[in-house]
Amino acid sequence: MEVVLITGGTGLVGGHLTKLLKHEGFAVRHLSRNPKPDAAVPTFAWDIGKGNVDPKALENVDHIIHLSGAGIADERWSEERLKVLYASRVDSGMLLLRALEKTGAWPKTFISASGINYYGAVTSEHVFTENDPPANDTVGKLTQAWEEAADAWAAHTRVVKLRTSVVLAREGGALTKLAAPARWGLSAPLGSGKQWMPWVHIDDLSAVYVHALRDREMNGSYNVAAPEAVQNRDFMRALAQVFHKPFFAPNVPGFAIRAILGEPANLILEGSRASNTKLAQSGFAFRFPKLGEALGDLLQ
Ligand SMILES: NC(=O)c1ccc[n+]([C@@H]2O[C@H](COP(=O)([O-])OP(=O)(O)OC[C@H]3O[C@@H](n4cnc5c(N)ncnc54)[C@H](OP(=O)(O)O)[C@@H]3O)[C@@H](O)[C@H]2O)c1
């Protein structure tokens, strides 16, 4: 049985992915800051600040999936917070690399989460492909550093970076926040409502990770976005429809959202499309290509 070690496996994506990997016959381990004795899979400790990893976590590992990361939109981007965002993605990846350098027992695959905001929080008609350069804004720079830490593994193992769009799930993430007012008939476009909102159903994202583990031809960066591209106002309208509510609320002004959230508001108020052609060419087929079906599955 192949062993998969997941960093940040206790989170939203990690929880779904762990279930799918177990179902597909992989043995799963987690690397966590706070291993729980009653965890569903063997869970080992690491301390990124102190540079410690439990060596047992790394024994006979076939694949590593690097999901750890403090929430990018959870807080304002103070200098302190940015250090946490970088340490949890970049330092953590390098810590694991150094730990394996000591043993020389390299896994076959290193798959890292990455974000579609690699291309920047910008509203445009450009459809970004993997050949586009990273943006020079806060999250663009963070994501570039995150991917560079993943690339450092390429001398030893196959590296895949999944530039992930907004993940739609029942239990958390953006959808639960957007759906709460929509249930009460208060779904409204955010800001101009014209910003594009690339998205992916959590089951499809989990399936992409498994696909990337198995397909040894996959290498480098891949955009992960469902085929149906929507703008924010279409997304908010689709939410209202799922709950059979009318959709006539006025736009929530961008300045109000910026006043509450600060710079992270850009992640909500701006956005462009991302091409999934490279992923599709690797043979991946989305189970939820259309937003209405994804929302119906998750919310009804
Ligand atoms: N959800 C999305 O819409 C989305 C979109 C694009 C990219 N991504 C990326 O995909 C990855 C997984 O996302 P997710 O939604 O599953 O995130 P999540 O639910 O917030 O889980 C992330 C995990 O990272 C670990 N973590 C949190 N803060 C940390 C810190 N300061 N230092 C080290 N580890 C920390 C936690 O594990 P422990 O507590 O066990 O250590 C946590 O369970 C993240 O890197 C995220 O940025 C997510």
Q: Locate the domains of the chain by residue range.
A: 3-119+128-167+200-225+275-288
pLDDT value, residue 37 = 87
Q: What is the largest CA-CA distance in the chain?
A: 61
Report the run of H or E that residue 254 belongs to, with start and end. Answer: helix 254-261
Task: Evaluate whether 249 touches 187 at the Cβ level (below 8 Å).
Answer: yes
Q: pTM of this prediction?
A: 0.97
Q: Residue 282's closest CA among 230, 220, 228, 229?
A: 220
User: 268 — alpha (psi -120 to 50), left (phi > 0) or beta?
Assistant: alpha
What's the mean per-residue pLDDT of the chain?
Answer: 96
β pairing state of 43-47 and 27-32: parallel
Alpha helices in 33-173 (DSSP H): 79-86, 92-103, 138-151
CATH assignment, 3-119+128-167+200-225+275-288: 3.40.50.720
Mutate to test the pocket of ligand 1, among 6, 7, 12, 38 (most ligand atoms within 8 A of CB): 12
Percent of the chain with pLDDT over 90: 96
Q: Does 248 have pLDDT greater than 80?
A: no
pLDDT value, residue 122 = 95
pLDDT value, residue 249 = 77
Mutate to test the pocket of ligand 1, among 33, 48, 50, 75 (most ligand atoms within 8 A of CB): 33
Residues near 214 by Cβ (< 8 Å), separated by ≥ 6? none
